């Protein structure tokens, strides 16, 4: 059990109060047993991974935190490529590093993202033109409703833009392991303009996976999106707001300079552009002395400059969404999972 039972010590933004109880599950069997036993006792549970997408109230969590710490990576080679199965508690970027070092393609543009493997299908984590849904073939989960372990194939996972079956029903499933199908040629396809420019290739072109990883890490560091204990700008939950998907009529009313992309259900607009053009600059805060502020490197990251509370972060988020709503009539949705904090 950790010596510090506050969520602030186990989340990347460094806010959140104490939990009533804490269990560290170092194996899949321990994870399943802990959750099933607590469910049978009708005790509230908070599943904790890397804490990179979690905002918990200052009052903390009135229940038991079950911290996922299972490890293990299994590799199967075939004529089509490589199947990699990773336990939910594997650090995500360590897995990406492993695949890139071995010349396997499919995860390289997802470099530098904090957190654990188990969280990636929940959010359908994506960056620079890649999403984990593109390579996931199956996810093994504990179905808490029936207290049994099941395997869900990709088309059963309900993947969409930054969402999934697991996110839509967060108290039903606990991810145990993720199976991904990767290419073995050592080359990745570039599907994002900013990354293509950094690599000096056209969108749709290709590059060695190691070069793609290095370019992505450079881009993320410039935005404060790679964890660095010496840089307060990285004390965040990553991108706090999701790029909104709107209908064609709404999109046509927005300044054409706003970046936009075709998306299922309409047109995806750049949340960063909307925030910046609503008058929220990098480094902005609700007041000069507020310990929570917008990153000085990226307007979608809300940071803990030191000593911030969860309420400080919420007040900042509400102020930003109000400005965007007033300027464009669009309500931004937040990406982090909020626990008992009214986000």
pLDDT in tens, 231-250: 999 999 999 999 999 999 99
239 part of the active site: yes
Domain 73-221, architecture per CATH: 2-Layer Sandwich (3.30)
pLDDT at position 78 is 79
Per-residue pLDDT for 4 more than 80? no
Between the alpha carbon of residue 181 and those of residues 104, 114, 124, 138, 246, the distances in Å are 10, 21, 15, 9, 32
Whether pTM > 0.85 for this model: the answer is yes
The total of other beta-carbon atoms located within 10 Å of residue 325's CB is 14
SS3 13: coil
d(CA 70, CA 170): 20
CATH 3.30.465.10 residue window(s) in the chain: 73-221
Residue from 162, 172, 197, 221 carrying the catalytic annotation: 162
What residues contact residue 176 under an 8 Å CB cut-off, 6+ apart?
Answer: 28, 31, 32, 70, 87, 88, 118, 140, 141, 142, 149
Three-state DSSP string of 81-149? CEEEEEECCCEHHHHHHHHHHCCCECCHHHCCCCCEHHHHHHHCCEECCEEHHHCEEEEEEEECCCCEE
Q: Distance between CA 216 and CA 199 in Å, rounded?
A: 10
Average pLDDT of 27-56? 97
Task: Specify the higher pLDDT residue, 265 or 310.
Answer: 310
CATH topology assigned to domain 7-68: 3.30.43
Cα distance between residue 44 and residue 49, in whole Å? 17
Instruction: Express each pLDDT in 195-224 by its tens digit.
Output: 999 999 999 999 999 999 999 999 999 999
Spatial distance between the Cα atoms of 140 and 150, rounded to a whole number of angstroms: 6
List of E strands, the chain: 19-25, 45-48, 54-56, 61-68, 73-77, 82-87, 126-127, 130-131, 136-143, 148-153, 173-182, 187-189, 206-208, 245-246, 260-263, 266-269, 292-294, 302-304, 337-339
14 and 308 in contact (C-beta within 8 Å)? yes
In which band, very low, low, confident or very high, does the pLDDT at 80 lie, cut at 50, 70 and 90?
Answer: confident
Three-state DSSP class for 250?
A: helix
Answer for the pair 204, 191: CB distance below 8 angstroms, yes or no: yes
Nearest 10 degrees: CA dihedral of 28, 33, 34, 40? 150
In the chain, list all ranges with CATH 3.90.78.10. 232-339
162 catalytic per annotation: yes
Distance, in Å, from the CA atom of 161 to the CA atom of 153, rounded to the nearest integer, reads 18
2: pLDDT confidence band, cut at 50, 70 and 90? low
User: Strands 54-56, 45-48: parallel, antiparallel or unpaired by DSSP?
Assistant: unpaired
Whether 337 is a known active-site residue: answer no
| pLDDT tens per residue across span 157-177 | 999 988 999 999 999 999 999
Instruction: Provide CATH 3.30.43.10 ranges for the chain.
Output: 7-68
CATH number of 232-339: 3.90.78.10
- Please pick, among 57, 164, 236, 239, the residue that the annotation labels catalytic: 239
């Amino acid at each position: 059990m950790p010596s510090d039972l506050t969520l602030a010590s186990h989340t990347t933004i460094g806010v959140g109060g104490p939990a009533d109880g804490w269990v560290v599950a170092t194996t899949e069997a321990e994870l399943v047993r802990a959750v099933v036993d607590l469910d049978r006792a009708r005790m509230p549970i908070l599943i904790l991974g890397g804490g990179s997408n979690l905002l918990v109230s200052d009052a903390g969590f009135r229940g038991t935190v079950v911290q996922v710490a299972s490890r293990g990576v299994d590799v199967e080679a075939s004529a089509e490529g490589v199947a990699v199965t990773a336990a939910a508690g594997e650090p995500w970027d360590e897995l990406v590093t492993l695949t890139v070092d071995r010349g396997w393609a499919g995860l390289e543009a997802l470099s530098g993202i904090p957190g654990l493997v188990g969280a990636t299908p929940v959010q359908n984590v994506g960056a620079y033109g890649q999403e984990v849904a593109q390579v996931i073939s199956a996810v093994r989960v504990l179905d808490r409703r029936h207290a049994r372990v099941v395997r869900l194939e990709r088309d059963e996972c309900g993947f969409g833009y930054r969402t999934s079956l697991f996110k839509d029903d967060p108290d039903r499933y606990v991810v145990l392991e993720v199976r991904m199908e990767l290419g073995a040629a050592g080359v990745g396809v570039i599907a994002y303009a900013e990354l293509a420019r950094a690599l000096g290739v056209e969108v749709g072109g290709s590059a060695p996976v190691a070069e793609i990883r290095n370019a992505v890490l450079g881009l993320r560091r410039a935005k404060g999106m790679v964890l660095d204990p010496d840089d307060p700008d990285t004390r965040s939950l990553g991108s706090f707001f999701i790029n909104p998907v709107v209908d064609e009529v709404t999109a046509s009313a927005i300044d054409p300079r706003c970046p936009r992309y075709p998306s299922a259900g309409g047109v995806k607009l750049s949340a960063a552009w909307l925030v910046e053009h609503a008058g929220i600059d990098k480094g902005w805060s609700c007041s000069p002395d507020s310990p929570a502020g917008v990153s000085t490197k990226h307007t979608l990251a809300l940071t803990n400059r030191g000593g911030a509370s969860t309420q400080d972060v919420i007040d900042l988020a509400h102020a930003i969404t109000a400005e965007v709503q007033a300027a464009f009539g669009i309500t931004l949705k937040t990406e982090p999972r909020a626990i008992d904090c009214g986000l």
